[in-house]
Each structure stands twice: as C-alpha cells, then as structure tokens.
Amino acid sequence: MAMATIRIAIALYFWLFTLSIIHNCIICSGNNSNVISCIETERQALVSLKQDLYDPSNRLASWVGEDCCKWSGIICHTITGHVCKLILRGPPLQYFLSFTELDAHRKTSLGGKISPALLNLKHLHHLDLSNNDFGGNRIPKFLGSLASLRYLNLSQAGFDGMIPHQIGNLTNLCTLDLHGRTRIVNLYFNYFNGYAKNLQWLTHLPSLRYLDLSDVELHHASDWMEVTNSLPSLVVLRLSHCNLSFNSIPPIHHINFSTLAILDLSFNYYYSENTSIPKWVCNIRSLTSLDLRRNYFIGPISEGIQNLTSLMHLDLSWNYFNTSSIPRSLYELSRLEVLNLQGNQLSGTISSDIKNLTSIVSLDLSWNDLEGKLPTVGTQLCKLKEIHLSGNKWNQSISQVLDSFCGCVSDGLEVLDMYSNDLCGRLDRSQIWKFKALTEIYLYSNSISGHIPASLGNVSSLRSVDLSHNHFDGSLPESFGQLTKLEGLYISNNYLEGTISEAHFANTKKLIWLDASDNQLTLDLSPNWIPPFQLGGLSLGSWNLGPQFPIWLRSQEHLTYLDISNIRTDAIVVPSWFWNFSAQLTFLNLSHSHFQGRIPYISKIGNDSLEIDLSYNHFEGQLPCIASKVIGIDLSNNNFSGSISHFLCNKPWELVDLQSLTLANNQLSGQLPDCWSKWLNLRIINLSSNKFSGNIPSSMGSLISLNSLHLRNNNLSGEFPMSLQNCTELFALDIGENNLRGSIPGWIGSRLLKMGIISLRFNEFYGHLPDQLCALSSLQILDVSYNNLSGRIPRCFNNISVMAQTSDYYTYGFSYTFGNYMTFMEELLLVMKGRAGEYNTILGLVKSMDLSSNHLSGHIPSEMTSLSGLISLNLSNNLLVVEIPNQIGEMKALLSLDFSLNLLSGEIP
Ligand SMILES: *[C@@H]1O[C@H](CO)[C@@H](O)[C@H](O)[C@H]1NC(C)=O
Ligand SMILES: *[C@@H]1O[C@H](CO)[C@@H](O)[C@H](O)[C@H]1NC(C)=O
Ligand SMILES: *[C@@H]1O[C@H](CO)[C@@H](O)[C@H](O)[C@H]1NC(C)=O
Ligand SMILES: *[C@@H]1O[C@H](CO)[C@@H](O)[C@H](O)[C@H]1NC(C)=O
Ligand SMILES: *[C@@H]1O[C@H](CO)[C@@H](O)[C@H](O)[C@H]1NC(C)=O
Ligand SMILES: *[C@@H]1O[C@H](CO)[C@@H](O)[C@H](O)[C@H]1NC(C)=O
Ligand SMILES: *[C@@H]1O[C@H](CO)[C@@H](O)[C@H](O)[C@H]1NC(C)=O
Ligand SMILES: *[C@@H]1O[C@H](CO)[C@@H](O)[C@H](O)[C@H]1NC(C)=O
C-alpha cells in the first residue's frame, strides 16, 4: 500500500503539473449556475450528437429539455453561454483488464458515430471522449475543423486506423491525448491502437504542451524525434509502446526540448536494436521524469545521465544494462525521488556513494546480479520509504542488512522488499524492532532462521508480511493478533510449531490472506469462535486441525482459495454444509489427509471456475454430483463406490466445463455409462484401478480434446474402442490390465498421430502388431506385453523417430497446468529391469518398448537396433528365432534389455 501511496503522491504531482498546463490554456469557467440558457443551434447540435451515439447505459439521460448548459458533461461560458467544454469521459479503466472486464466496461461506454453536427459548437475549447468504445473506428477527420479546441482527449476510446492529419489544423491545441488501451488489455500483445506514417502534421501545433501518442503504431514515423523536437512548448511527451525505432532517427543537430519535463519512451521493445540510451536524451536538461522501461537498451547506462540534474523520477527497469556496478553518474542525481533499475543485468556491489541520493523516496534495484554488502545508508537517505532489493545475491545476514538501514531510514521505511536473496542469519537477533513505520515486508525465499520476533506485532502499520520459505522456528507470536491493519500474512514452508489460538487473530479485522502451510502448527480454536475477518485465501496445509472440522470456516463467505491438505489429524468428518458453503471458491484442496464422510454434491454458484483436489482421503459412498463450473476434480485414492452413471449422466443437456477427471483407486463399479458427449472439454480422464466392467462406451469418441485416458486395472471387456478414432489429440492411452480382446487396429497409426504413450499390457489382444504403428513418430512408450499377439515384429519400427533419438527430456503431454492452480502430471505403471513401478516426474525421460509374453515369431528385425533412444527393450517370452542383430551395440541408451525365453541361437554380439 505504501507503494501505492507514493505512486499516488507522484501521480498527483504530475497531475497538478499537468493541470496547470491545461489551465493556462483554458479560459472558460466551470460554473454554469449563472447562465440562463444555452444557445439554440448548439442545443440542436448536441441533440444530433446524442442521436448518433450508442449509449447502452443511458449516460446521456439528462440530455433533455431546453437548457443544454445544465446537461451532464456540458460546460458553457459564463458570459456568452456558448458550450465550451464537452466532457463525455467514460468510467475509469484499470491498468490491467481481462477481456471479461473489458466487455463489462463496454456496456457502460459510449460508442457509435460522432455526428459532424459537433462542428456547430464553434467555441468548443475542450473535448474529452476518453474511456469509451468507438469500436475500432477511425478518428473523424472533421475534428480538425473544431478550430477553437485547446484540449482534445480521445484516449482509450477504442479508435483505430490512421490518425487524421487534419488534427494538425487545430493550431490552438495545448493538450493532445490519443493514448490507446493496449496495455490495459494485454501488456504483451503485438497490437496497437491506430497508426501514423509520419508526424509532420504536429508541426502546425506550436502551443502543444502535452502530447501522448502511446499505443499508436509509429514504426514508419521515423520523423518522430525531429517533429517533437521542433515543438517549442512541449512539456509532456509520452510515446510508450509505439514500436518506435531509436536507430533509424535521422541525426538531429540541435536538441530543443527546452521545456520538456516528462519523457516517456517505455515499452518500445519490438525492435531488438541493441542500442544504448540515445545521447540526445541526456541533453534535455529540463527533464524531471524519464521513463525508459522495457526497451532493448544494452551496455552501460550512459555517463551523460548525470547532466539531467533536475530528474526526480528515473525508470530504466527491464532493459539489458550490464555494467559491472551501478554507474557513479546516477549518484549525482541528488534530486531523484524514484529510481528504478529492476530487471537489468547489473552486477558488482553498491557503492557507498548511493548515500548522495538524499532525496530518494523509492529505490528499486531488484532482479539484477548485485552482490556483496549493502552500504550503510541509515542516517543519510532519510526520505526513503520503499526499498526493493529482491532477486540479487546479497552475501549478508539479515541483521547486517537491517543494520545498514538503522537511523532515519528505519524510522520511516514503509516497504522492505528483499525476497529471493540467499539472506541468512536470525531475524530475532536483528534490529527489525526499529522499523516502526513498515507497511509491507517481503523476505520470502531466503534462509533466515530464528523465531519470528514478537516486536513485529507492535508495528501497527503492517499490512503485508511475507516470511515464507525460510527456516523460522518457534511459534507465531500472539502479538500478531494486534495488527489491526494486517491484510496478508504468509509464513508457509518454515519450521514453525506450537498452537495457533484465538489470540493470534484477536484484532486482525482486515486479514484477507493467510498462508501458513507446511509448518508443524496446530489449530486450537473454540468451536464457537467467530473470526473478526473475512478471508479471501486460506492455506493450512500440513496443520493439525484439532479434533473437529473448523466450523468457523462457515463464516468465510468470500473465500476463493482454500488449502487444507496434508492434515495431520486423524479421522475428521467433513460436515455436509461444507459442500456448498462458499460460492466464490476457485480452488479447494483437502488432499492427502484423513478426511471422512460422504459428499452429497459440490455446488458452485459464483462465476469463476473451480478446481478441486480431494485425493488420498477416506471419503466414501457415491460420487457427488458436481456443478458445471468445476474445471478439474481429483477424487482418486478414496473409498467411493457404486456406479458413476448419475455423476456422468445427470442433466444430460447441460454442458460442463470439466477438463480433468481423476477417479483412480476407488471402489467404483458397474458399466461406464455412454454419456460422455456433454463433457466436451475433458482433456484428462483417469478411472484406473476401480471395478468397472463392460465395454468402453462409444460416446467417448466425442471427446475431441482428450489428451490422456487411463482405464487400467478394471474389468473392461470388448474390443479396442473404434470410437477413439475421433480423439485425435490423444497423447496417452493406458487400457492395460483389463479383459479387452480383438486385434490392435491399424488406424491408431493414421488417426492418433500425437500418441506418446500406449499401454495395452495384460489383455487378450491377438493378431499382428500393425505396421501402421510405425507412423507414430512421437511414440515414446509402447507396452503390449502379456497379450496373445502373434506374427513378426514390424520391420519399420525404426520410423518411430522419438525412439530413434537419444535426446533429452520431453515435456509435451507429460505435464501441464490447466485452470489456475492444479497441475496435471502424466503417470504410468511400467515394468523396467524386471520391476513394476509407477513413473510420473521422470516419465518424460523414459523411452521403452515392451513386447514380452506374446507369441511373436520370426527374426528380431535388424532395423530395431536404430532405436538408439530406448532405455528399455523387452522381447522376452516370445517365439523369436535366430541371432541377436549385430548392431545391437548401437543402442547406447539401453539400461535394460531382455531377450530371454525365446528360440534365439548364435553368439551374443
Ligand atoms: C457557482 O455560482 C453560484 C451562484 O453564483 C455560487 O453560489 C456557487 O458557489 C458557485 N460555485 C462555484 C464552484 O464557484
Ligand atoms: C485523458 O483521459 C484519460 C482517461 O480519462 C485520463 O486518464 C488522462 O489524464 C487524460 N489526459 C489528459 C492530458 O488530461
Ligand atoms: C486541414 O488540414 C488538411 C490536411 O493537413 C489541409 O489540406 C487543409 O487545408 C486544412 N484545412 C484548414 C481549414 O486549415
Ligand atoms: C528549435 O525550435 C525553434 C523554434 O522554437 C525552431 O525554429 C528550430 O527549427 C528548432 N530546432 C530544431 C532542430 O527543430
Ligand atoms: C514493429 O516494427 C517492426 C520493425 O519495422 C515491424 O517489422 C513490425 O511489423 C512492427 N509491428 C507492428 C505490429 O506493426
Ligand atoms: C554533460 O555536461 C557537460 C557540461 O555541460 C558536457 O561537457 C558533457 O558533454 C555532457 N555530457 C553528455 C554526455 O552530454
Ligand atoms: C558523493 O558525495 C561525496 C561527499 O559530498 C563526494 O565526495 C562524492 O564525490 C559524491 N559521489 C558522487 C558519485 O557524486
Ligand atoms: C467421428 O466423428 C464423425 C464426425 O463428427 C462422426 O460422424 C463419426 O461417427 C465419429 N466416429 C466415431 C467412431 O465416433
């Protein structure tokens, strides 16, 4: 929050600054109460304007009646009555917005056509149509004839196409803001809002003080520098995310920019130009703010930057600056308040000259390769409120680090951000108690040990504390219960122990996120406890929950994330209210615990999708029905029993979002119902190790997104399912250990081209191994052992290119994340070196072929020896004759080779 405060302070500063610019320009008054009535021709113009606009939320409802000066968004001149300002700005847009949020914004935006009747407002000084949605239309050319305009703001209004040159006719213009909304929708889309081939037209605007063309594509406008340099009054220039080229600028002999204060050239990263900061930038002495974030600037930070002595705000983050230390020239910028060097390749230590930055408020050096000891700055940088040093290699203990800030810095510091730094030492032996103004502290992913100091509980301003992934031991101090402003507490993955009681939360009214998993903590709360907070996220993995399921959870109506997995308490019954208690949940993890009970249904009303992991528990009874918003569910390794018909076939008309269904290792039985056609999003099905019988239903053929199908170890019968021909995305098929019979169809090789894993072991398949299997170039694991296959081994197996390569680790298909939280990892029962085992994490490394225990006859084709990537080949217990091929020595990756129990003869090569 402190970050936010500072940002607001800075934003306010620039805003006031901008406001003063605008006010110098605009003379029409803001008080309409003296005006009697508006001018009729102007009223009619506004009526026409309204008629042509699309206004889904009726924002122009007040545009009725005679006195248009009283209509919303309209300001008339106090004396003349002319409309001088038209402010139709839409509701504010956040910096990052999902497409859904953008859609919602659309519903409150103005759109449609802008009527040329606007030209009848001859005295219009100020036109603001920002934050609307003009649906990709071009900016109307006739705006260039609104000769009185001084302020034109069409930012984030959804305009696209070429910027009309006619805007260059607005010779009185002081402010021109055309910035787009690309950054808002997606920072990394190669997408712009409009374009210009040159900027010559701007040269007619001598009064221009504020120019923002961010998100407008300007890669053809190589005159951008020449033109903006010729604008004599320019104070603010923003060309962020314009696909600008810095190399193709024609040489400029004289840098004017005598009034330029704010220069923003950030996000022009499309050219990988490998250029250093342009020299001319360092000649704009008037600059107070320079933003060169996310470009392709390389090499050292220019020495000339020290000439920008007025700079207060400097952002060079996410470039490729790679000097062996922070250049001394930066330390000469004594007015700097914000310095951001995050995400570069700066190495070496920080010099003690950093003390010269006496105005600094926010310092960000995170994500570089800095190391060594921090200089002692505690008594010099007295204005410092935020320090970001994460992602470096400070070779220090936390006590030494904090010592270097003791003094006025520790008195005033609000944000201490030092995660992922290899810091060691004990926090309880440090001077952390001196940091009385902290609002945020991030120390996660270090090696800090000792107790969590109780003194932190006295820092009443604390909002966010992240100490996770360290070596803290002892208990959580009760003083944390006094942190009335605390919103986030993250202490997971430490060695904390002891009980957490009501006192720990006594006054934490604002707590939203508590992550304390992977410790040895025990929850001890009275059953009637009423928490003072409403959590959004709770993670109590590996806790001891006490004898009862935590009833107080029921009060947490906004919970979106709940992880109570690996619970150390035995036999907790999950009460039935739990299964419909929070409509907001998006992640629920109760896995690897000893939870018991039946699950009637899992309801979900909220809009977002839900991922559920209840695996490895003792849940029993019928499978619950699930809501259509569930996208992943893992109920494996429980005692669920009965048929799955109601689960699959309930409400057959309703489409379901489910992508992953894992029911392995239960007692489920009966036939697999033929109701798969509504489960069109399924990518993962695992029904292994149950008691299913009957055929594989044909509706499985409608699962066109299916990647992974595991039906191993059931009593399924019938032939190889024809319907799978349509599952062309299939990567892993495991139908081993069933009673399937018939021949192995050749279409596998022509239809299922993405197959990586096929396991048919322990069935009754007979006939030949089809030659078409050789077309499966990605096949890594083929197991057809223990069937009744006969005939020869196909000669073409050398076409299976993955098996023929001795290459690395494959990830495609073996693991991926779906939704936001759950990760899918492919797993398979494999027999290697005579031993059967479940393989998962290393499965991507395995290449194996097992044709053992069949009736295969004839030679071992010599082509097989080119499968040099195989680590296991088992041909044992067949009827293969004659010699082992000579080139067998080429199969260098082999760890296991079994030719036993055949009719082989001759020498071992
Ligand atoms: C606008 O004018 C009215 C009437 O003269 C006056 O009462 C009011 O204070 C003025 N408002 C502002 C913001 O100047
Ligand atoms: C233009 O409008 C946007 C969005 O309403 C606003 O954020 C921005 O400050 C305005 N630009 C100027 C120069 O006033
Ligand atoms: C407006 O601009 C266009 C193109 O720049 C020019 O041809 C035209 O003469 C200008 N009109 C006026 C009224 O200045
Ligand atoms: C600098 O500005 C002056 C007028 O403000 C102009 O005449 C001159 O051409 C400009 N120089 C450059 C290099 O654009
Ligand atoms: C950005 O500039 C490069 C270099 O000229 C060009 O190839 C690319 O098409 C431009 N990107 C867009 C989206 O116009
Ligand atoms: C910085 O300013 C000094 C003195 O005005 C000048 O000599 C030097 O060339 C400037 N450096 C750069 C890189 O512009
Ligand atoms: C920092 O300040 C000290 C003392 O005023 C001075 O000697 C030193 O040169 C300065 N360092 C830099 C890099 O400007
Ligand atoms: C495969 O899909 C086609 C077209 O959707 C359909 O006509 C056909 O019956 C399906 N085949 C199988 C075996 O399900």
Which ligand is nearest to the Cα of residue 271, counting in written order?
5
Which ligand is nearest to the Cα of residue 260, counting in written order?
4
Residue 258 C-alpha to ligand 4 middle, in angstroms?
Answer: 10
pLDDT grade, residue 352 (50/70/90)? very high
- Answer whether 476's CB lies under 8 Å from 453's CB: no
Residue 353 C-alpha to ligand 7 middle, in angstroms?
Answer: 6
What's the CA gap between 563 and 515, in Å, rounded? 9
- Answer whether 377's CB lies under 8 Å from 409's CB: yes
Q: To which residue do tokens 């990052």 refer?
A: 96
Tell me what pLDDT residue 774 has: 94
Which residue did the predictor score with more confidence, 99 or 162?
162
Which ligand is nearest to the Cα of residue 329, counting in written order?
7
pLDDT grade, residue 597 (50/70/90)? very high
What's the CA gap between 435 and 402, in Å, rounded? 9
Top-tier CATH class for 731-909: alpha beta
Quick one: DSSP state of residue 136? T
Tell me what pLDDT residue 16 has: 47
Record the pTM.
0.83
- In this predicted structure, the answer to whether residue 250 has a pLDDT above a threshold of 70 is yes
Tokens of 103: 């859609």
> Is 327 a pocket residue for ligand 7 (Cβ < 6 Å)?
no
Min mean pLDDT across 244-248, 520-524, 700-704 is at: 244-248
* Residue nearest to ligand 1 atom 11, measured at CA: 31
Q: How many C-beta neighbours within 10 Å does residue 274 have?
A: 11
The secondary structure of 43-61 as a DSSP string is HHHHHHHHHHEE-TT-TTT
- Answer whether 711's CB lies under 8 Å from 736's CB: no
Mean pLDDT across the stretch 768-786? 94
The secondary structure of 618-681 as a DSSP string is EEEESPPEE-TTEEEEE--SSEEEE-SHHHHHSSTTS-----EEE--SSEEEEEPPS-GGG-TT
Kindly report the length of the chain: 909
> Is 726 a pocket residue for ligand 8 (Cβ < 6 Å)?
yes
Tell me what pLDDT residue 793 has: 93
Tokens of 809: 């680790």
- Answer whether 860's CB lies under 8 Å from 798's CB: no
Residue from 734, 720, 726 nearest 700 by CA: 726
Alpha helical stretches, state H, 70-208 = 99-106, 182-185
Residue 328 C-alpha to ligand 7 middle, in angstroms?
Answer: 9
Give residue-wise pLDDT tens across range 604-636. Answer: 777 788 999 999 999 999 999 888 889 999 999
> Is 356 a pocket residue for ligand 7 (Cβ < 6 Å)?
yes
Tell me what pLDDT residue 273 has: 66
Residue 98 burial by CB count (10 A; 0-12/13-18/19+): exposed, middle or buried? exposed
* Residue of 305, 353, 359, 380 to mutate, ligand 7, most atoms within 8 A of C-beta: 353
Side-chain-side CA neighbours of 392 within 13 Å: the count stands at: 29
Ligand 2: lining residues by beta carbon, under 6 Å: 18, 89, 130-131, 153, 155-156, 175, 177, 210
- In this predicted structure, the answer to whether residue 1 has a pLDDT above a threshold of 70 is no
Give residue-wise pLDDT tens across range 783-793. Answer: 999 999 999 99
- Answer whether 846's CB lies under 8 Å from 779's CB: no
Which of 66-80, 252-266, 488-502, 794-808 tops mean pLDDT? 488-502
Mean pLDDT across the stretch 206-232? 94
Tokens of 571: 């036999």
* Residue of 254, 260, 284, 286 to mutate, ligand 4, most atoms within 8 A of C-beta: 254
> Is 166 a pocket residue for ligand 3 (Cβ < 6 Å)?
yes
> Is 283 a pocket residue for ligand 6 (Cβ < 6 Å)?
yes
Residue 821 burial by CB count (10 A; 0-12/13-18/19+): exposed, middle or buried? middle
Which residue did the predictor score with more confidence, 673 or 569?
673
Which residue did the predictor score with more confidence, 888 or 334?
334
Tell me what pLDDT residue 98 has: 67
Tell me what pLDDT residue 25 has: 37
Which ligand is nearest to the Cα of residue 197, counting in written order?
5
Residue 216 C-alpha to ligand 3 middle, in angstroms?
Answer: 22
pLDDT grade, residue 31 (50/70/90)? low
Side-chain-side CA neighbours of 156 within 13 Å: the count stands at: 21
Q: What percent of the chain clears pLDDT 70, i.e. is strictly above it? A: 93
For 824, phi then psi, to 5°, come to -100, 135
* Residue nearest to ligand 4 atom 12, measured at CA: 230
Ligand 1: lining residues by beta carbon, under 6 Å: 31, 33-34
Give residue-wise pLDDT tens across range 646-705. Answer: 888 887 667 788 999 999 999 999 999 999 988 999 999 999 999 999 999 999 999 999
pLDDT grade, residue 19 (50/70/90)? very low
Min mean pLDDT across 90-104, 205-219, 244-258, 638-652 is at: 90-104
Give residue-wise pLDDT tens across range 545-561. Answer: 888 899 999 999 999 99
Give residue-wise pLDDT tens across range 54-77. Answer: 999 999 999 998 889 889 999 988
Give helix then strand counts, H and E, for the chain: 11, 62
Tell me what pLDDT residue 96 has: 66
Give residue-wise pLDDT tens across range 702-743. Answer: 999 999 999 999 999 999 989 999 999 999 999 999 999 999
Q: List C-alpha distances in Å: 869 to 169, 840, 873, 899.
A: 70, 19, 10, 18
The secondary structure of 502-517 as a DSSP string is GGGGTT-TT--EEE--
pLDDT grade, residue 299 (50/70/90)? confident
3-state helix, strand, coil in the chain (%, to 5): 20, 25, 55
Which ligand is nearest to the Cα of residue 282, counting in written order?
6
Residue 313 C-alpha to ligand 6 middle, in angstroms?
Answer: 20
Tell me what pLDDT residue 848 has: 94
- In this predicted structure, the answer to whether residue 185 has a pLDDT above a threshold of 60 is no
pLDDT grade, residue 403 (50/70/90)? very high
- In this predicted structure, the answer to whether residue 873 has a pLDDT above a threshold of 70 is yes
Q: Which residues contact 560 (CB under 8 A, 6 or more apart)?
A: 536, 537, 582, 584, 585, 586, 587, 608
What's the CA gap between 491 and 444, in Å, rounded? 8
Residue from 238, 227, 225, 300 nearest 267 by CA: 238
What's the CA gap between 73 and 58, in Å, rounded? 13
Q: Which residues contact 588 (CB under 8 A, 6 or more apart)?
A: 562, 610, 611, 612, 613, 614
Residue 215 C-alpha to ligand 5 middle, in angstroms?
Answer: 13
Residue 540 C-alpha to ligand 2 middle, in angstroms?
Answer: 45
In the chain, where the domains are located: 731-909
Give residue-wise pLDDT tens across range 375-390. Answer: 999 999 999 999 999 9
Q: What percent of the chain clears pLDDT 90, i.e. is strictly above it? A: 69
Mean pLDDT across the stretch 816-826? 85
> Is 701 a pocket residue for ligand 8 (Cβ < 6 Å)?
yes
Tell me what pLDDT residue 719 has: 93
> Is 328 a pocket residue for ligand 7 (Cβ < 6 Å)?
yes
Q: What is the mean pLDDT of the chain?
A: 90
